[in-house]
Structure 1
């Protein structure tokens, strides 16, 4: 499956790398009509907060954090000794995650990934239900990554919105790259796209909203039995010396 324009645009967006380096905004997604959506850089770059930890309490087994950003959730899972991996298209985000002690790879969710059809939980946090601007395609891809009856935990917009747009990433002064597709989904919209999924629960905490869904059918996209999940040139630095989580 080919990575959408989102991956290249986000990965090469200098304002994003700068914000992760400093741990501060401002940083926005800017629609073509000039409307700005603030991004919570300071929260992303901080340690997992109480709401994050509550979400992670619901995770089962091995966890794949899609669009892990600077890695606060992967780092928290690592501290809990939960086998986990973050993926992000941003080199700066992956490097930050590894510095925190988490494991991460520079990949788009639409690229080939370790452990396909064998993950117990996939996370789509911090607006990442918008990746690619096509909710149906994203949910289809996540289903391919999860094992049968695997768990998706997604953070949705706290308002009832179903919007597909093209955006730039900007700090309000610098904008680089071409616009890329993005989506904003409230809980009702996400559930409308979740054909073939079973709703487990939905909840709100700290002004944020979440949905837990389970796959109903098995994927046929599992790695071939003899395929190495992560080849040596792709292995992130692992301070603990343990095997990469996806080699199982």
Structure 2
């Protein structure tokens, strides 16, 4: 379901160009802009705060075009990106990163050994069920593992919805489940999945939370 949606032409076309006006759109008309140019660029100052929190081998879940994976690789770090979009995986590889076209719920290399998992650019929403996602990340990580997740700016947001990727001309992809989660809700979902909040910070108008295994 998610794989089909993120392979839709509006998203693929935008990644191929490295730009384009894309949105996540609900059926009631609500739309969330997707920052394709930032995703396809180099890590910005907010991203650098995330990279500094990475410990050991890093798994970037929903890596998109791979700016974080490529940056970690350039530092000599072990990093793997996974994404259900072939265009995203291809762009990650061309930027120097290592990536696989997989869902986080598929079998993955090194299960139980990743020390840091990234859920950036709203990827805590993958699958529309944050608790299920965080439990899956617990299976993928080992030792004193950590998750660095990006939340909504509104601390109280806790929403499940069905969305589509849509471009400025109205071309739409297939519907898929998504979640939007603020820091307060993330703390609650994390506790249900065996994680605890270790740190929260804001950079560049974006909100990040570091979770540690309980």
Determine if the alignment matches structure 1 residue 146 to structure 2 residue 141: yes
Q: Tell me the equivalent position of 2:187.
A: 191
**Match of residue 214 from structure 1:** 212
Higher strand share: 2
2:60 is aligned, of 47, 59, 65, to 65
Partner residue in 1 for 2:158: 162
Task: Find the aligned partners of 2:16 and 2:4 in 1 and give their Cα distance.
Answer: 19
Gaps of 5+ in 2: none
Q: CA-atom RMSD, angstroms?
A: 1.0
Does the CA-based 8 Å contact 1:146-1:215 persist in structure 2?
Answer: no
Q: Which residue of 1 aligns with 2:115?
A: 120
Hey, what's the Cα distance between the residues in 2 that align with 1:35 and 1:175?
16
Secondary structure in 2 matching 1:101: coil
Q: Please state how far the C-alpha of 1:49 moved relative to its aligned partner.
A: 1.0
The alignment of Structure 1 onto Structure 2 pairs a total of residues equal to 211
| Separation in structure 2 between the aligned mates of residue 94 and residue 178 of structure 1, nearest angstrom | 20
Q: Which of 10, 21, 27 matches 1:15?
A: 10
- Tell me how far apart the structure 2 counterparts of residues 77 and 130 of structure 1 sit (CA, whole Å): 23
Displacement after TM superposition at 1:178 (Å): 2.9
Shift of 1:177: 4.0
Q: Distance in 2 between matches of 1:176 and 1:158?
A: 26
- Name the counterpart of 2:40: 45
Residues 99-152 of structure 1 show CA distances to partners (whole Å, capped at 9, x for unaligned) of 000000000001000000100100000000000001111011011111032010
The 5 Å alignment of 1:19-30 reads: 19-30=14-25
Q: Secondary structure at the match of 2:73?
A: helix
Find the counterpart in structure 2 of residue 244 from structure 1: none
CA distance, structure 1, for counterparts of residue 189 and residue 126 of structure 2 = 14
Unaligned stretches of 5+ in structure 1?
217-248
Shift of 1:24: 1.1
Partner of 1:74: 69
Q: Which range moved further: 165-174 or 70-79?
A: 165-174
* TM-score between both structures, scaled by the size of structure 1: 0.83
Contact 2:187 2:196 in 1 (8 A): no
In structure 1, C-alpha distance between the alignment counterparts of 2:93 and 2:46, rounded to whole Å: 23
Distance 1:52 1:108 in 2: 23
Q: Which has the larger radius of gyration?
A: 1
Match of residue 27 from structure 2:
32
SS of residue paired to 1:154: strand
> Does the Cα contact within 8 Å between 2:10 and 2:171 map onto a contact in 1?
yes
Residues of 2 paired with 1:88 and 1:147: CA distance?
21
Match of 1:6 in 2: 2
